[in-house]
Structure 1
Amino acid sequence: MEENLKITVENGVKELVILKGTAEPVFHKKAIEVKGGSINSALEYLSKKVVDPEIIKHSKIEFCYDELYIKLLYDARERNPDFIEGVLKLHPDLKKFNINSGKTYSPFELSDFIKMNRHYFENKDYAMKLVSRLREFEGNVNRDIEAKADGRGNKRALINEVVESNIPEKFYLELPVFIGQPKQRLEVEISITASFDCSLVSPDLKELIDMQSREILDKQLEEIQEMHPELKIFEL
């Protein structure tokens, strides 16, 4: 549709050229985004990228010990800065054991679980020995209760007695605790209640998670700072 334009020129301008049509679109480069990557994601990005010293001055790292993450915004003053997030997460192989989670199994269920996951044990033969003892456990307790019943409710004591004599006090797993980290040797115990519920507990694992998580973040931040001392780092 034609439009009537009224234009006034001043300061001696004698000619005015008017161009009509569609302007070229403004292009904004697409950012690289990594969300929920492994904890070393920011370090990997910086170590493999040709970093402009001027751009790194306008970039920043944010980290949090409570939520166990490191976030990099590369060229944060740009419309679309690269965003790299690394999170320290428990390894799926560890999570499937439900250690310290309160999850319970019957002795037979736990023996089946151990049998199917014996490749995580430090000693597979030891794992299969544990499988056999768990399968026999409930029957052994019941037989002892029948043989030693004194009418005074000593079932819990008898269960403890059978546990001590038949179930190994502890076993060892070899698997990574966190994604992107090497395998660790973990000591695990089997807790059994008076109703024959079994659960896996490990004080060592709890301590390791609490202590090493901070150490792993600190190590990543230290290497990033050594690589780019001018990069701003903020704790949230």
Structure 2
Amino acid sequence: MSENKLNVVVPKDYNGTPIEVVLREGTAPEQLEIKEPERVMIDGTIDAPYRWLEKRIDLINQKSSNIIVNRDKMGMVLTINETNYYQDVITGVLQPSKEMVEFGINTDKKWEPIKLSQFLKMHRAFFTDKSQNMMLVSTLKNFKAKVNQDIERSKEENGSKVDNYSQVVDSNLPKSFKLNIPLFKGFACEEIEVEIYADVDGRDVSLSLVSAGANEAIEEYKNKVIDEQLDAIRQIAPDIVIIEV
């Protein structure tokens, strides 16, 4: 039989009132693990830094924050508590739209004629002229290309060599077509003209989509959008330093 002893100290001014002693047995509750503060790391669209500041401007020290702008990468980075290891970082990037990526416009993406035909058929909604879409789908489905090759080889008696090769491709593809798609993620649609470039290597044919107008619009638009975001940030956070790199 176990025996538990308690030492009870009675104060000098004890007046005889009964003293109740409660003995509870068991283990003390476990304390929660102490964890380090978590950093806020957000990657969003180009307006992410402004949206974050808009709701938290009263909670930060603007003098210890900064915004780094990189126009070549079409983005900006907001850093809060820049000297603190647990600094918060909100990144906003002007991202190409899902549609631009899927079409592969102005990229190294190559299409087989039949694959491009199927893709355009399923994305008819982006064509400004639905009849043009139907014509293009049919043309790609029955793509024909006539390749004329001229080869000239000669060898001179003195050892000089001539090796000329030329290739001319005559196809039934239309010169261009028009799409109505967003250039950037989260932005409205723009009308752009797209050209089809054919690369013929013997019997292998690959197509690529090129739009000089889209490329020009992107260059102009990115600076406009970034400047609009910076102006909006200056209105609500005038003391945050903005640095272009």
- Tell me if TM exceeds 0.5: yes
Distance in 2 between residues matched to 1:193 and 1:41, nearest whole Å: 41
Task: Report the 3-state secondary structure (helix = DSSP H, G, I; strand = E; otherwise coil) of the residue aligned with 1:96.
Answer: helix
Distance in 1 between residues matched to 2:109 and 2:63, nearest whole Å: 49
Residue matched to 2:113: 107
Task: Report the 3-state secondary structure (helix = DSSP H, G, I; strand = E; otherwise coil) of the residue aligned with 1:199.
Answer: strand
Does 1:127 find its partner at 2:152? no
Does 1:39 find its partner at 2:39? no
Aligned residue among 216, 221, 235 for 1:226:
235
Task: Report the 3-state secondary structure (helix = DSSP H, G, I; strand = E; otherwise coil) of the residue aligned with 1:184.
Answer: strand
Is 2:150–2:167's contact at 8 Å kept on the other side of the alignment?
A: no
How do residues 1-236 of structure 1 correspond to structure 2 at under 5 angstroms?
A: 29-34=37-42, 36-52=43-59, 55-138=61-144, 141=145, 159-160=169-170, 162-163=171-172, 167-195=173-201, 196-236=205-245
How far has the Cα of 1:188 moved from its partner?
Answer: 0.3
More strand by share: 2
Task: Report the 3-state secondary structure (helix = DSSP H, G, I; strand = E; otherwise coil) of the residue aligned with 2:143.
Answer: helix
Residue matched to 2:24: none
Residue matched to 2:21: none
How far has the Cα of 1:137 moved from its partner?
Answer: 2.9
Distance in 2 between residues matched to 1:76 and 1:27, nearest whole Å: 21
Is 1:156–1:194's contact at 8 Å kept on the other side of the alignment?
A: no
Distance in 2 between residues matched to 1:193 and 1:83, nearest whole Å: 44
Is 1:108–1:135's contact at 8 Å kept on the other side of the alignment?
A: yes
Larger Rg: 2
Shift of the 137–28 alpha-carbon distance from structure 1 to 2, 3 Å rule, reads closer
In structure 2, what residue type is equivalent to 1:42?
P
Distance in 2 between residues matched to 1:134 and 1:79, nearest whole Å: 56
How far has the Cα of 1:84 moved from its partner?
Answer: 0.8
Cα RMSD (Å) of the superposition?
A: 3.0
How much identity, in percent, do the aligned residues show?
A: 29
Q: Which runs of 5 or more structure 2 residues have no equivalent in the other structure? A: 1-32, 152-165
Please give the TM-score of this superposition, normalised by the length of structure 1: 0.71
In structure 1, what residue type is equivalent to 2:53?
L
Is 1:63–1:71's contact at 8 Å kept on the other side of the alignment?
A: yes
How far has the Cα of 1:156 moved from its partner?
Answer: 6.0
How far has the Cα of 1:168 moved from its partner?
Answer: 2.8
More helix by share: 1
How many residues align? The count is 197
Shift of the 58–130 alpha-carbon distance from structure 1 to 2, 3 Å rule, reads same
Distance in 1 between residues matched to 2:137 and 2:215, nearest whole Å: 25
Please give the TM-score of this superposition, normalised by the length of structure 2: 0.68
Is 2:57–2:237's contact at 8 Å kept on the other side of the alignment?
A: no
Is 2:39–2:87's contact at 8 Å kept on the other side of the alignment?
A: yes
Cα deviations across residues 156-181 of structure 1 (Å, max 9, x unaligned)?
65x53x43xxx332211122212222
